[in-house]
Amino acid sequence: MSRKIDWEGQIGRRLKLRDLHVFSTVVQRGSMAKAAAHLGVSQPAVSEVIADIEGALGVRLLDRGPHGVEPTIYGAALLKRSLAAFDELKQGIRDIEYLAESNVGELRIGCVESLASAILPPVIEQFSQKYPRITFNLKIVTPTLELPELRERSLDVVLARITRPPADGDEDLNVQILFHDELAVMAGPKSQWGCRCRIDLAELVNEHWLLPPSNTWTDMVLKEAFQARGIAMPKAFVTTYSLHFRADLLATGPFLTALPVSLLRLNPDRFALKVLPVDLPARPWPVAAVTLKNRTLSPIVQRCIDHIGACAKSMGADVASTRPSA
């Protein structure tokens, strides 16, 4: 595109939010006809809106083919900014609602399963007592920093365990370390190992271990611990990500596993587990609140993040700053 677009003459007076909404709907639905049906208008009306936007910008926004439409590089750029614009408007409405009627709103939180089990129950319980009209929408996410739901702005914040430094593709993320968790070997209340004052890891190699999949943080720390003793990693009796499933099996059977210490510190009455006196490598396990860097947090979201930091402090965790990093 060789010419400069005249914002005031071409865009400011011609392009409306409704047009952007129609355009994004066409991309999401994959065709003009499906977008028209979804919006409750005629297909020619949708085609006219797209043609007007393309005429104003002087570029083609959509490639049309036998299987529907897809955004061109120009369309993808406009779609990305349109989603951000609509999100900021929604955020503005939520802020107005909050200012008009204090302590009312919704928190959309993404969380890995282990944190959802360990941190969120006491956090939500305490938070709801103080702010009973704030609701929570929780989504369990995968333990990575890809976080498509956050980047698509369908989540306000993601609580994650950070297992690697931010990479080149993470420049748009703001990672706020809330506290540093640690890993411990645990057993059920009836385990024969529960009454021991000290246990050598080599004594446990033939036990029934409940382990997460390979290449997880827990797997790497345990492998390092067993290798330091000169012995091979034990074979998993059950392999699963599920913290709840492992905790349930520990409570009823002769099993062992490694779990984050925060699980017991924050929930002393919920889980009938014992931390065994086994030496593991000292590997701080950062727990972070991840948000989009160029997205203004609502007061409710920031209040929740601060509350999680306060909960971590109350349990005696190694607390980091709960404020955004530069």
pLDDT, one tens digit per residue, over 65-103 is 777 888 899 888 888 888 877 877 777 777 776 665 657
Q: What's the confidence (pLDDT) of residue 167?
A: 64
The ranges assigned to domains in the chain are 7-84, 101-181+285-319, 183-275
Cα–Cα distance measured from residue 310 to residue 323, given in angstroms and rounded to the nearest whole number:
12
Token output for 283: 């590997």
List, in order, residues 6 or more apart from 314 with CB less than 8 Å away. Answer: none
Hey, what CATH topology would domain 183-275 get?
A: D-Maltodextrin-Binding Protein; domain 2 (3.40.190)
Classify domain 7-84 by CATH architecture.
Orthogonal Bundle (1.10)
Cα–Cα dist 185/197, whole Å: 14
CA distance 161 to 144: 8
Q: 7-84 and 183-275: same fold?
A: no
User: How much is the pLDDT for 109?
Assistant: 92
pLDDT digits (tens, 9 = 90+) for 22-54: 888 888 888 888 888 888 888 888 888 888 888
Residue found by looking up tokens 């590997």 in the block: 283
| pLDDT the model gives residue 9 | 53
- Residue 305, classed as helix, strand or coil, is helix
Which helix (H) or strand (E) element contains residue 269? Answer: none
CATH superfamily of 101-181+285-319: Periplasmic binding protein-like II (3.40.190.10)
pLDDT at 326: 30
Segments of the chain scoring below 50 in pLDDT = 1-2, 7, 318-326
What are the start-end ranges of the E strands in the chain? 62-65, 68-71, 105-111, 134-140, 157-161, 173-181, 183-187, 208-211, 236-239, 255-260, 274-275, 285-292, 318-319
What is the distance, to the nearest Å, from the Cα of residue 316 to the centroid of all Cα atoms in its chain?
24
Q: Is residue 193 within 8 Å of 204, Cβ to Cβ?
A: yes
Q: How far apart are CA 127 and CA 121, in angstroms?
A: 10
